[in-house]
Amino acid sequence: MKPIVKNQLIITVSLTVSCLMTGCQSKEKKADGQSVTVACYYFPNYHTGEQRHEAAKGSGWSEWELIKAARPRFEGHAQPKIPAWGYLDESDPLVMEKKIDAAADHGIDAFIFDWYYYDDEPFLNRCLDNC
């Protein structure tokens, strides 16, 4: 299942909802031979330019800052971790395309996006309208 690159976020969310509602079938099989759908949760907040974050945390802030600031809490706790692909800006459609391709290549059928509301409107609508 590989969405079209144009408007990737919307298409991916639509595929996720469609997949979960229709029970789309993966190539993966359970021991009894039935197909299973493999989905992963996705928290879309690893990009800069979000007005609420910049007002509260300063210009250029994203969730990556929390990852960078992680510190060891016990012996052997290796922190901070550096992501294998680096600190990618997920507002770039090419970054999402890379993630979708990697997920599809490794048996992930769908993304379930962590979607939330502020002031009675979807949080990312402004980004989708203005990006």
Would you state the pLDDT for residue 56?
A: 85
Instruction: Give Cα separations from 76 to 71, 79, 82, 83 (angstroms).
Output: 11, 9, 16, 19
Phi then psi for 118, rounded to 5 degrees? -135, 135
Report which of 96, 87, 49 is spatially closest to residue 68, judged by C-alpha positions: 87
Residues written for the chain: 131
Percent of the chain scoring above 90 in pLDDT: 34
Q: Is 95 exposed, middle or buried (0-12, 13-18, 19+ CB in 10 A)?
A: middle
Is residue 37 situated within a structural domain?
yes
Domain that holds residue 61: 8-130
User: Is residue 115 within 8 Å of 106, Cβ to Cβ?
Assistant: no
pTM of the model: 0.60
Whether 42 maps to a domain, the answer reads yes
* pLDDT recorded at residue 122: 55
Residue 3 belongs to a domain: no
Q: Is 1 among the domain residues? A: no
Tell me how many domains the chain contains: 1
> pLDDT digits over 5-54, tens only?
333 333 334 344 444 444 444 555 666 777 888 999 988 888 888 887 88
The answer to whether the beta carbons of residues 78 and 8 sit under 8 Å apart is no
Q: Write the pLDDT tens digit of every residue in 84-97.
A: 999 999 889 999 89
